[in-house]
Structure 1
Amino acid sequence: MKLNPNNGFIKFDQQLPVYNWLYPLKGQETDTIQFRDAFTRLDTRPIRSRALYFHIPFCETICTFCMLNRGVGAEGSEAIELYVQALIKEVRTKAAWESITGVPPRVIWFGGGTPSILTPDQIRRIGAVIHECFDLSRLEEFTIEMEVKSVTREKCEAFRDIGVNKARLGLQTFNPRYRELFNITATLEDTYRVVDLLGEYFDYRSFDILYGMHGQTTADFAEDIQKAIDLGTESCEFYPINHLVTQNALHTGYAGKKLKALSYVDKMGLTVFANHYLRNSGFRLYNGHGYARLENPEQESEFISQRYTNKYHEYCWAHWDDDLIGFGASATTQSLDWTIMNDESRTSYVRNLLDKDDLKVKVTQADHVPYERGLVLSLPYHGRIAKDRIPWDRVPGEVADRFHQLVAAGMFEERADSYQINELGWTWYVNTMYYMSPAADRKILDEFVEARSKNGGISDGDRRMTSIDTNLLRAEVGKPLPLTPIG
């Protein structure tokens, strides 16, 4: 990927086809070890802020755009009950380590899967063990992901009772064609009902909208944006669909309807369109994808809102001394230079905890603490970083050099006490995250993109942007993209 520092708008020669990833990626994976060994060795004394993540890997139906760890499950089933028992046992077992409970969490996130598939009793039991094992005196945000078919008033009461103050729905699109392609089985009437219900119980409501699907027009997207605005929630998030990590079934559906992939120039056009549409409707960006509805948006002088933020992202991924502790099958713990991933198999996760009082984990230790995380992640995604949060003497030289190249290219602006992203930088924020990452992380992303691009069942658009060398671009029009690394 090449930076074009002197070009007015097209700052890169291609668009990265991956929109989010854990950082850091690099490290040497060890053999599977005892989780007790992992958390005994984990020294979290430098940690400033902490987030807790709880994974509920069950869904009533499986969406074709989702590749997360999840499987079909029915509310009240024995499989979900045994998983809940195992999850509670994991929490109580890990609570014996100072590395797990010594830093009070500032945010909690229930993801999946579908956390709202739990019964009210299961919700309260999990909530009880969280309150029993953790100091929640600093907790600011407690978020639950929901799917509208499984939301009831009794569950809202249970979630509120355990401290939840933010509910998120995986709405994805209002368009019936794409809802069918995504295998979304909830009705829009269900969605409208649940959005109103959530307003009775929680301070904040949000939902996801995907865009950039094959065949989607600007008019299609405009209709989705307006309907999203009309829902009246406090915030919403607009994500360009990441086709490299969708299921082949989605692409079979595209082919069946003769829908052609959008180029990444087209996708960028939709991104810019959404921003202007939402800004002129009383919303402001609060991170790379999220928009908050503000009472007085005209008071926002910065491109990224200073009045609202997604605290889960702010407190677990923003800086080198923020960490994330994960619970549940496949849940990930990231702390300093350590990444610890729980057993990915739901079956063995449950069996080992309930029958053997054990938990398999995979451990990766990077070659250094990611002191550069604030530059690589927080600045592009959250839109700002305080200068006193950048430990320049510990930031790898290659990261610092590339950061200063991006400043010179007009992507970030220097203020008296901070660096801020501007609209141009936000438009390319995924590329800037990649560009500033150390070479080892870029290599991992390159290899992932190359491997997924070889999947013949996945179709995606042309990633090239307008090149400085327009003659070369014209000569190559119509040729397939090479499957070599993009770095």
Structure 2
Amino acid sequence: MNITENLSTQDILKRLSEKNYTEIFNIRSRVEASDWERIAVENLKQNIFANPNRYPNTKNVLYVHIPFCATRCDYCPYYTTPYTSQKITDYLDALEKEIENIKNTPFIKSTTFSSVYFGGGTPSVLSAENIKRIVYKIFNSFNFDKDGEFSFESNPSTLNEEKIIALKSSGMNRVSLGIQTFSDRFLKEMHCAHTPEKAKQIINLLLDYGFTVNIDMIYGLIGQTKEHLEYDMEVLNSFGAPHQVTLFPLRIATHTPLGEELERKEGITIKAHFKRLLEFDAFIEKTMLNNNYFREESPVFYHKKGAYEHKYHSTETRIVGIGSSAGTLLDDGEGCNFHNVDEYISAINENRDPAISGVALNQQQAYERFILYRIIYMNRSLPNFKEIVEQRFMEHYGVPMGDIYDKVLEDMRRLRFIKSGTDKIIFTDRLWMVLNKVKIGMPSIL
């Protein structure tokens, strides 16, 4: 049954306010934005931004989406689009207008951001001049901590010394490089635009210029053996010391092109693939710890020499997202802008809200979302995982977690997201299918 059938906007919003967040998460995975979300999003951001931030100094981050890429990598689940110089100019014009529309609102004026993250897409496709243009606009429109983290997602194929100098002179201090692997074979198979040699060159150049460097890697690629992984770890640990390394497991869902390719090329099931991921993860952790890294509860490793905890976590920060496909995740609601660049530009130029979807949340739902996202996206196999969640919850909200963690687990069992009859948190196939579909505007970084 269509949940909007014969219901007014007020009735829809009332029904949503009575649901737990896990149910909302489930609904948003199977209902198109043209249905209830377009009604729920009506004036959502305006209503939130019309009031001061209740948590003005606690994990507030700004996400800026640059949707353009030089090539489309096979593993990438995020929205990207081809570009021309004119398209980039039109997009940056719209981005600046969106900034102007929100920068003087009570919420933004009362907020101090601990981080800005330029994600994508591939922000490094911008020219040096355009990098300076948009970074200048951001730093002159929002308030940031003096010791804030200012990150720019990049790809070695589109980053050069001129752009690195532009980033440095503009005030950026962290670059996240999408390396994925140092194997020429796998880079070609994934249609990545860079080579291992270019990747090594850019890493060393960034270190020379004094950036905090994060290297994004993927393991569990189709056809990847432990020997291949050993080689990636050997190259990774040959540098002076990248400060952070993010190692993402390639999670493959059933009934997807990657799932079919796995069965065709390797003749193994997705269950066997996940077992291999666990084996690879154990090997990675042992190797990284032996090379002076320590591990967070997420896939991020920090080098003991000069490292600091990454300030931007899409699972537990208050995010204001700008640009096409950007997600906004705040205590009072969440939403996502138009994915299509032309739709986004048109909406901005016609003074329309660029949001394509969203939902208002009450305090209890916000609490539950915080815990649900950590269960789904963080390393829940840690023996003290619940205690870590409890500590992070207190840091985030300043109140005890109470029984909300257990309630969220029970909601997940009831929706058949996790298996019953076990103390371990084991995801069901149903949850993996939901994660393939859910449109919550999650930024492209953990």
CA contact (8 A) 2:393 2:401 kept: no
> 2-side partners of 1:137 and 1:394: how far apart?
26
Change (3 A) 1:117 1:259: farther
CA deviation vs aligned residue, 1:150-199 (integer Å, no higher than 9, x gap): 11222112112222111111111122332122111211111111112111
Matching residue of 1:70: 80
> 2-side partners of 1:194 and 1:124: how far apart?
19
Q: 2:331 aligns with which of 313, 336, 342?
A: 336
Quote the offset at 1:254 in angstroms.
5.4
> 1-side partners of 2:398 and 2:145: how far apart?
33
Q: 2:291 aligns with which of 281, 286, 290?
A: 281
CA contact (8 A) 2:184 2:196 kept: no
> 1-side partners of 2:118 and 2:254: how far apart?
22
CA contact (8 A) 1:124 1:159 kept: yes
CA contact (8 A) 1:323 1:336 kept: yes
CA contact (8 A) 1:67 1:247 kept: no
Change (3 A) 1:391 1:238: closer
Matching residue of 1:463: none
What is the TM-score of this pair, normalised by structure 2? 0.75
> 2-side partners of 1:157 and 1:132: how far apart?
20
CA deviation vs aligned residue, 1:395-423 (integer Å, no higher than 9, x gap): 57462367xxxxxxxxxxxxxxxxxxxxx
CA deviation vs aligned residue, 1:356-400 (integer Å, no higher than 9, x gap): 465344221235342356655569559632685487987574623
> 1-side partners of 2:165 and 2:275: how far apart?
45
Q: 2:249 aligns with which of 231, 240, 257?
A: 240
What is the TM-score of this pair, normalised by structure 1? 0.69
Change (3 A) 1:118 1:392: closer
Change (3 A) 1:284 1:254: same
Correspondences of 1:246-395 after superposition (within 5 Å): 248=257, 260=268, 262-295=272-305, 308-313=308-313, 317-318=315-316, 322-356=317-351, 358-366=353-361, 368-372=364-368, 381=379, 384=388, 385=391, 388-389=394-395, 395=401
Q: Is 1:227 matched up with 2:226?
A: no
Matching residue of 1:400: 406
Matching residue of 1:415: none
CA contact (8 A) 1:244 1:452 kept: no
Quote the offset at 1:215 in angstroms.
2.9
Correspondences of 1:107-256 after superposition (within 5 Å): 107-232=115-240, 233-244=242-253, 248=257
> 2-side partners of 1:206 and 1:453: how far apart?
26
Matching residue of 2:441: none
Matching residue of 1:106: 114
> 2-side partners of 1:108 and 1:329: how far apart?
16
> 1-side partners of 2:23 and 2:179: how far apart?
27
> 2-side partners of 1:205 and 1:223: how far apart?
20
Q: Is 1:83 matched up with 2:79?
A: no
User: Tell me, what secondary structure is at the counterpart of 1:140?
Assistant: strand
Quote the offset at 1:82 in angstroms.
0.7
Q: Is 1:57 matched up with 2:67?
A: yes
> 2-side partners of 1:387 and 1:357: how far apart?
35
- Matched residue type, 1:263: H
Quote the offset at 1:235 in angstroms.
1.9
What's the Cα RMSD here? 3.6
Change (3 A) 1:295 1:162: closer
> 2-side partners of 1:103 and 1:214: how far apart?
44
CA contact (8 A) 1:198 1:205 kept: yes
> 2-side partners of 1:120 and 1:251: how far apart?
39
User: Tell me, what secondary structure is at the counterpart of 1:325?
Assistant: strand
Quote the offset at 1:89 in angstroms.
1.0
Correspondences of 1:6-17 after superposition (within 5 Å): none
> 1-side partners of 2:416 and 2:210: how far apart?
38
CA contact (8 A) 1:50 1:104 kept: yes
- Structure 1 residues not aligned, in runs of 5+: 1-21, 297-306, 403-433, 455-487
CA contact (8 A) 2:348 2:354 kept: yes
> 1-side partners of 2:237 and 2:130: how far apart?
33
Change (3 A) 1:201 1:115: same
CA contact (8 A) 1:115 1:146 kept: yes
> 1-side partners of 2:69 and 2:330: how far apart?
29
Quote the offset at 1:143 in angstroms.
0.8
> 2-side partners of 1:386 and 1:57: how far apart?
31
Matching residue of 1:449: 432
> 2-side partners of 1:357 and 1:101: how far apart?
22
User: Tell me, what secondary structure is at the counterpart of 2:176?
Assistant: strand
- Matched residue type, 2:46: D
- Matched residue type, 2:433: E
CA contact (8 A) 2:155 2:178 kept: yes
Correspondences of 1:402-421 after superposition (within 5 Å): none
> 2-side partners of 1:71 and 1:203: how far apart?
28
Quote the offset at 1:85 in angstroms.
0.9
- Matched residue type, 1:325: V
Matching residue of 1:33: 42
CA deviation vs aligned residue, 1:8-57 (integer Å, no higher than 9, x gap): xxxxxxxxxxxxxx998367735153566344466632452300000000
Quote the offset at 1:441 in angstroms.
10
